[in-house]
Copies of this chain bind each other. A is one copy, B any other.
Amino acid sequence: MIITLKTGVKQKEVNAVIDKIKSLGYKPHVSKGKDVTIIGMIGEYAEKYKDSFEAMDAVEHISEIQKPYKLASREFKKSNTVIKVSRGVEIGAKKIHVMAGPCAIESKELMFGTAKIVKDAGATILRGGAFKPRSSPYAFQGLGEKGLKYIEAAGEKFHMPTISEAMSVEQVELLSKYCDIIQIGARNIQNYDLLKAAGKQKKPVLLKRGMATTVKELLLSAEYILSQGNYNVMLCERGIRTFEDSTRFTMDLNAVPVLKKLTHLPIILDPSHGIGIREHVGTMAKACVAVGADGLILEVHPHPEEALSDGPQSLLPDQFAALMKELDLVAKAVGREIL
């Protein structure tokens, strides 16, 4: 990191900073300009001492130079990570996988009906929530373990790996029995106990960026999972919160090339939440494929006006089937494939 000292600091204060750097086992690199003195402290884990230098009165500002995450970085692993899920599905290779299904598992019928619809249209992974994070304590909170049994059975019947969200350490354990991919939702992006639990089990994890999470923080949260020994982590952009209120969130597609540069982990995109308006989900899905997504996660519901959650952004079966064909064309135009 680079430590910029305040204008007019005394030599004694400069020395205190230098001595502290040395005492931590690093070599200080001092550069003096006419008005400004800067001191470089470069080396593994140097950034971890940022706070204690910033707390010194002589210090004006500190710029981080080295990345605070390691296992998630391209420097640590140059080639793209390809995650082997069950039933031959590999995420991060040429094929772009579409994870589709209802927002919430509302009934056995809905789960099986929607599974058939999305399988027929070309989706390769089945989604459905058994535990639903809801802003209001009075809203539908999910079927719980019963729902997990339905999605497991539907996955079995239609030969699709499944994904569902865990909101607590106990749910991680439960989900790892029933599902093939464990989703950590946007609201839990900095629920560190949950991240660690996801890192201690073996199933692949889909980690959703929080609505105010920076790219750097997303990678740090991934690092929590990786550092526990589970390297099968996908990152998911699903919209960030901005001033714009004509859409539910603002989908940050800029983050895709930036992440692809910084990390070897696969990137999944969620245009259903990212824009939140059914008639526009398909258009954004095309942009997601063009920008380099390794997978999409999409909400589909045969009767959205009866859905217990996220009806307004759920695609109708016909819309979804038509969209899959359009997405495949875009995928081919960028050297990938979907169908």
Task: Point out the residue from B239, B244, B290, B306 that lies within 8 Å of A286, measured CB to CB.
Answer: B290
Question: Least Cβ distance of A20 to chain B in Å?
Answer: 8
Interface 9-residue window, one of A32-40, A81-89, A109-117, A121-129: A32-40
Tell me, yes or no, whether A317 is within 8 Å of chain B by CB: no
- Interface: A310 (CB within 8 A): yes
- Least distance between A259 CB and chain B CB atoms (Å): 9
B interface footprint on A39-74 (CB within 8 Å = 1, 0 otherwise): 010111100100111111000010101101100000
**Residues from chain B with Cβ under 8 Å of A187 in the complex:** 190-191
Kindly specify which of A135-143, A144-152, A154-162, A173-181 makes contact with the partner chain: A135-143
Complex Cα distance A249/B244, Å?
Answer: 13
A7 to nearest B CB, angstroms?
A: 6
Q: Are A167 and B139 in contact (CB under 8 A)?
A: no
Interface pair A212/B254, CB less than 8 Å apart: no
Tell whether, in the assembled complex, residue B51 and residue A307 are in contact, meaning their CB atoms are under 8 Å apart: yes
The total of chain A residues at the interface (CB under 8 A) is 109
A180-193 near B? 1/0 per residue, CB < 8 Å: 00000001101111
Q: Say how many copies of this protein the assembly contains.
A: 4
Q: Is A201 an interface residue (CB 8 A)?
A: no
Q: How far is the CA of A254 from the CA of B287 in the complex (A)?
A: 10
Contact A250 B242 (CB under 8 A): yes
Are A55 and B333 also in contact (CB < 8 A) when A68-B136, A168-B193, A250-B252 are? no
Residue A250 contacts which of B69, B216, B250, B326 (CB distance < 8 angstroms)? Answer: B250
- A229 contacts partner chain B, Cβ-Cβ < 8 Å: no
Establish whether residues B242 and A243, one from each chain, have CB atoms under 8 Å apart when the complex forms: yes
Across-interface contacts of A24 in B (CB, < 8 A):
none
By the criterion CB–CB under 8 Å, are B257 and A283 in contact?
yes
Residues of B contacting A69 in the complex (Cβ-Cβ under 8 angstroms)? 136
User: In the complex, which residue of chain B has the Cβ closest to the Cβ of A288?
Assistant: B287
Query: CB-CB contacts of A258-273 with B at 8 A, as 1s and 0s?
Result: 1001000000000000
- Considering the chains assembled together, what is the distance between the CA atoms of A245 and B246 in angstroms? 13
Given the interface contacts A212-B241, A284-B253, A305-B55, does A135 sit within 8 Å of B190 by beta carbon? yes
* B312 pairs with A2, CB closer than 8 A: no
State how many angstroms separate the Cβ of A261 from the closest Cβ of chain B. 8
